[in-house]
Amino acid sequence: MTKKWQIYQVENEKVEELEKKHNINKLLATILVNRGIIEEKQIEKFLKPKRSDFYNPYEMPDMEVAVKRIVKAIENKEKTIIYGDYDVDGITSVTVLKSFLEERGLEVAEYIPNRLEEGYGLNKTAVEGIAKQGYTLMITVDCGISAIEEIKYANELGIETIITDHHEPGNELPEAIAVVDAKRKDNKYPFRNLAGVGVVFKLIQAIAIELKLDEKEYLKYLDIVCIGTISDIVPLVDENRVIVKLGLKLVEQTRNLGLKAILQASGYNKIDSSTISFGVAPRINACGRMGHQEEALKLFLSKEINEVNELTQKLNEYNRIRQETERNIYADAIMQIERDGLANNDTIVVMGKNWHHGVIGIVSSKITEIYFKPSILLCEEDDHGKGSGRSIPGFDLYEALTECNDTIEKFGGHSMAVGINVKKVKFEEFKQKLEQIAREKHIEEIVPILKIDAQISLDEINKDMVDSLKELEPFGEDNKTPLFAFKNLKIDSIRALSEGKHLKLTLKDNKNIVNAIGFNLGELSNDYRIGDKVDVVGNLEINSFNGVENIQINIKDIMKSL
C-alpha cells in the first residue's frame, strides 16, 4: 500500500537552543520542537513531571457540589452505589472510587452493565433495580453524560445522581445534582482529555483536599489510574502524561495483588505503555467482551492471593476464547471480502452468522488497518444485523451514516468508530448507499500518512542517543513513537522470518551497518535483493539478544531509492 512520507521541516535554531539550554542531544531536541514543546515549563513537565503538575480539581465543572454531596454521604453512612462501564477505563474507575470511599468509611456497592445483554451506559431497568434496593446516591463513572431519560427516571425514584464522565455531552445535560465532565461547554478546567478514571482521580483528589487528607491518600491509586488512562487510548499529553509517567513508576512496585498477578501473566519483562496496552488491557477487556465484567473488578479489589490467582486464570481463559473467536470472525470476514471482491470497493461491509458482539469491533479495526478502508461488520440476528464500524483518518464515518440514515435502524459513535443496527432487508441498500457516499467524497484519494520526525543518516545515531529517546515515553495517542527516515541504504542481507510473516534485513551505508526488522512485511522479501538501494522509515530501538545490545530499525515502510 502506498504511504505518504511527511517529514517535519527542522527548525535548526530552536533545536540548537534546546540542545544547549537543556543539555540534550540533537535528536531529542528535534522531536520536542516538532511536537511544539519548546517553553521551559513545557519541557520540564514533559520530561520530568511532578506531583505539583496536577491541576486544581475544583476548576472542573460541578466539582465542589459533587464533593460536598459525597462528604455528606460519608458522614451519614448513606446507601451509595457506583454505576460503571465494562471496559478497562470503567473497571479501573470503579476500583479507584470504591476503594477510596471505603477507606473513608463509606460502604459502596457497584453496578456494571453486561455488554452483551444491556450494552453501554445507564438503562432504566438497572436504575429501577438500584432504587428497589434502597440506594439514595448513585455516582456514575465513565458514563452518564448522555443519560437524560435515565437520570430523570432516577430522580423520580428518589435517587440523587452525581455524574463523572469524559465523553462529549449533547445539547442538554442530565438533571443530576452534579455533572463533572471537562468536555462540558462551560468547562474552565485546563485539560479536557482525561479518561473516565482520570476524572475519578480528580474527584478523589478534591475529596482529599476537602477532608484535609495527606496527598498520598489519593496518589497511591495512580497505578490503577495509569492502567485505565493508557487503555482508553486518550491523548498521552499534558495531565494524562503526568498521570501515566508517575503512575508507571507505581505500577512497577504495585501493591494491588490483582494488577501484580495480571502483569506476571502477561509475560512482559518491562513495564511500559506497551505492556499495559498489549498485555494487561486485552485481558481485562476480554471479561467485558465475553460478558464477565464482574470478574475483572473482583481481581482489582481482591485482597486474597488464592482468589487473585483463580481470577487471573479466568481472565487468561476469557482472553484465549476472545482471541479464538476473533480469529474465526476474521477468517470468515476475509473469505467474504475475497469472494465478493470487496477489496476493490471504497468501503467494506460484511455480515455473518454466529459472530460475537463483544469481539466484532476488534475485527473491524483489523480489516480497516489491512485494507485502509472504512469497514462495518454486522452480526446476523433474526431479521437484523448488529455490529461495529471503524474508519480511516479523513473520512467521518458517523457523518456518512447520517447521510444514509433511511437505511439504518439506529447507530451511534463518532468519526472513527460506530455501533450500528441495520434491518436485513435493508442490508444491500445500506451497503450501496455507504459506498456511493464514500465515492462522492473521493475516499480513494486518502492515503496513509507517516509523520517523520527527521531524515537522518546512520552516522548520526549511537546507542546513547537511541537510549535517550526513552525520555519521551510513555508513547501513545498524540505522543507517538518517533519515526525517522533513512535514505540510500544498501541491502546487505534480507530474509523472511516466522514462515514468511516478518522481514529481516541488515542495511549499510558507506561504513555503517544496522539491523532492521519489518513486522508483517515478510512478503516484501520477494521484492528486494541484496545490493538494492532502499529508503526506509522506522522507529529506532535497542534490540537485546543473547546479552548483546544492538541498534535496530523497526521498519514501518520501505521503498527503492530514486
Q: How many CB atoms lie within 10 A of CB 390?
A: 24
Residues 288 and 318: their CA atoms lie apart, in Å, by 9
Provide the whole-model pTM. 0.89
With beta carbons less than 8 A apart as the criterion, state whether 420 and 389 touch: yes
Q: Which residues pair with 494 in a beta bridge?
A: 505
Give residue 1's pLDDT.
65
Pair type for strands 449-452 and 4-7: parallel
Q: Give a three-class secondary structure readout of 180-246.
A: ECCCCCCCCCCCCCCCHHHHHHHHHHHHHHHCCCCCHHHHCCHHHHHHHHHHCCCCCCHHHHHHHHH
Judged against a pLDDT cut of 80, whether residue 368 lies above it is answered with yes
Judged against a pLDDT cut of 80, whether residue 17 lies above it is answered with yes
Judged against a pLDDT cut of 80, whether residue 121 lies above it is answered with yes
Residues 289 and 361: their CA atoms lie apart, in Å, by 10
Give residue 270's pLDDT.
86
Residue with cell 545515531: 461
Question: Per residue in 382-435, pLDDT tens?
Answer: 899 999 999 999 999 999 999 998 899 888 878 888 889 999 999 999 999 999
User: What is the rounded average pLDDT for all residues in the chain?
Assistant: 93
Q: Which of 470, 49, 539 is nearest to 273 (CA)?
A: 470
Q: Which of 189, 181, 187, 198 is nearest to 90 (CA)?
A: 198
Q: State the burial class of residue 165 (Cβ atoms within 10 Å of its Cβ: 0-12, 13-18, 19+).
A: buried
Percent of the chain with pLDDT strictly greater than 90: 83
Residues 427 and 78: their CA atoms lie apart, in Å, by 50
- Report residue 410 as a C-alpha cell: 439506529
Distances (CA, A) of 390 to 121, 233, 342, 395, 478: 21, 15, 16, 10, 19
Residue with cell 437520570: 151
- Report residue 222 as a C-alpha cell: 495512580
Which domains, from first to last, does the chain contain? 53-218 (3.90.1640.30), 340-445 (3.10.310.30), 451-560 (2.40.50.460)
Question: Per residue in 280-297, pLDDT tens?
Answer: 999 999 998 888 889 999
With beta carbons less than 8 A apart as the criterion, state whether 198 and 234 touch: yes
